Structure 1
């Protein structure tokens, strides 16, 4: 049984890293910076594959009621903000810096939970959150490839990620499984991004994209959509066999792996201070995982 859990974790890590690398390749190397189309395509294929898998009985999905879908719409709106702003930020930032900013979503989650429940935070958890926040604040000061728009979109991304994490925990009354939640997210995203494609100018811009008929571009887009769906399945599989603490550890290890491998795949202009910001941000995340584990004992 233990080796099956390890295989699930390794599979999740592999898909996680390849998925982020593929998205980074399309967004930064090919410079396809049209997020309404890129994320719309990904969510459309994800919804299609998820509904097909449910129809064939490959995954367990119950019929989603109208009331449950409506109650989940705030979460879907946060999901759209997450993927849209994340796409904008990732196209302008190196993967290690992107994850450093993304780690600060824990600060947003803790602040929201603090406001809702008014509970005192453990000193170790407070320390870990402060380390991640200080690392994120200092990163723009030392980033050799500083891009203001990239950091603005990253703030929007981490805010949506942190708020969505809290919404998932607080909205247990809907009784929706992770796959059912994601199905609603996908369908809502396709609708909203399709409506926004023309007003945002992405539709007209994509028609002038130089790699529009490139084989590499088509393969990258198809791979990104399929990998996004596989990452969803790998995440659900991981959660079904492990506790939330162990899932957090696998996510942490996956991010560290992506950070260590990204300099060998993509060109990055980095320096010692920016590396220290990345390092301490993930030390803070490791402390957060440890504090959450201690609180469960």
Structure 2
């Protein structure tokens, strides 16, 4: 791995950790549970920064045809569902629990490859999917702070992530680059979440939010928008510099650092059984990294 790849990998890990901790702070500590507004703000900031980066020549966004944009529209709908459900889940679940459930989306991807595309799946990936499924499936029974709503939205989130990955792969090769796809996701998300803010009641709830005029809330929201954009940008850059196995390794490192930091910074109760489930999920992710680094499909 080149020195540039390591620097981008470290930047990705730092932004990933900071973004999740900031989001958790806003959602759980400040208790700003208005996902259409919070996620709408994040995607608005991300879209504006991506547009500015394009105009400055830092990234390249292609003028895609209408057919390419329409073909990507279902993925953008899934993206909105992913970030909405993820926000609802993260507000109620500990970060390690949320990440373990998020990673279980790989089970859906693996199952689709085996059952529908009839692809030959390496044993390491099958074992990884089974471990991730076991970890996610046993967590609700061992979580001392079990929250039905939190797990419900986490399941919706992981189903969306799995479907998004499947759809993204099925559209390859595509005229849309990763940056193009994210740009369209941002535009569609802002439009849909803004339209949903009033019908869902989030707009009225936000007016009664006790920290609405507190600088900690404003600073955290600004940081969340900027960090979300930096996570996207660094992830795309990392993907272009290193092999898929190395990307998976950096993501695992980022998740381990994020989960470990969250335990120290946020209140929560993790039983031994729950920690065992989290470690099982971590082992599943490590096996996935091993499979990717061996160059398996």
Q: Which runs of structure 2 are paired with 1:217-236 in the superposition (5 Å)?
A: 217-236=217-236
Q: CA deviation at 1:120?
A: 4.0
Q: CA deviation at 1:63?
A: 1.4
Do residues 4 (structure 1) and 4 (structure 2) align? yes
1:71 corresponds to which residue? 71
Aligned residues: 297
Q: CA deviation at 1:4?
A: 1.3
Task: Indicate the larger mover: 154-163 or 124-133.
Answer: 124-133
Inter-partner Cα distance in structure 2 for 1:133 and 1:38: 30
Do residues 149 (structure 1) and 146 (structure 2) align? no
Does the CA contact (< 8 Å) of 1:108 and 1:159 recur in 2?
yes
Inter-partner Cα distance in structure 2 for 1:115 and 1:193: 34
1:24 corresponds to which residue? 24
Q: CA deviation at 1:121?
A: 2.8
For structure 2, which runs of at least 5 residues remain unmatched after alignment?
A: none
Do residues 178 (structure 1) and 178 (structure 2) align? yes
Q: CA deviation at 1:53?
A: 1.1
Do residues 91 (structure 1) and 91 (structure 2) align? yes
2:270 corresponds to which residue? 270
Q: CA deviation at 1:116?
A: 2.8
The superposition leaves residues 163-192 of structure 1 with CA deviations (integer Å, 9 ceiling, x where unpaired) of: 111222111143111111000000000111
The superposition leaves residues 216-235 of structure 1 with CA deviations (integer Å, 9 ceiling, x where unpaired) of: 00000000001111111111
Task: Indicate the larger mover: 117-126 or 59-68.
Answer: 117-126
The superposition leaves residues 141-167 of structure 1 with CA deviations (integer Å, 9 ceiling, x where unpaired) of: 111111000000000101111111122
For structure 1, which runs of at least 5 residues remain unmatched after alignment?
A: none
Inter-partner Cα distance in structure 2 for 1:294 and 1:215: 48
1:163 corresponds to which residue? 163
Q: Which runs of structure 2 are paired with 1:195-210 in the superposition (5 Å)?
A: 195-210=195-210
Does the CA contact (< 8 Å) of 2:12 and 2:231 recur in 1?
yes
Inter-partner Cα distance in structure 1 for 2:122 and 2:237: 31
Does the CA contact (< 8 Å) of 1:112 and 1:163 recur in 2?
no
Inter-partner Cα distance in structure 2 for 1:181 and 1:70: 11
Structure 1 length normalisation: TM-score? 0.97
Inter-partner Cα distance in structure 2 for 1:70 and 1:126: 34
- CA RMSD in angstroms, aligned pairs only: 1.3
Inter-partner Cα distance in structure 2 for 1:207 and 1:231: 30
Q: CA deviation at 1:295?
A: 4.8
For the residue of structure 2 that corresponds to 1:174, the secondary structure is coil
1:242 corresponds to which residue? 242
Inter-partner Cα distance in structure 2 for 1:74 and 1:113: 20
Does the CA contact (< 8 Å) of 2:245 and 2:291 recur in 1?
no
Q: Which runs of structure 2 are paired with 1:107-146 in the superposition (5 Å)?
A: 107-146=107-146
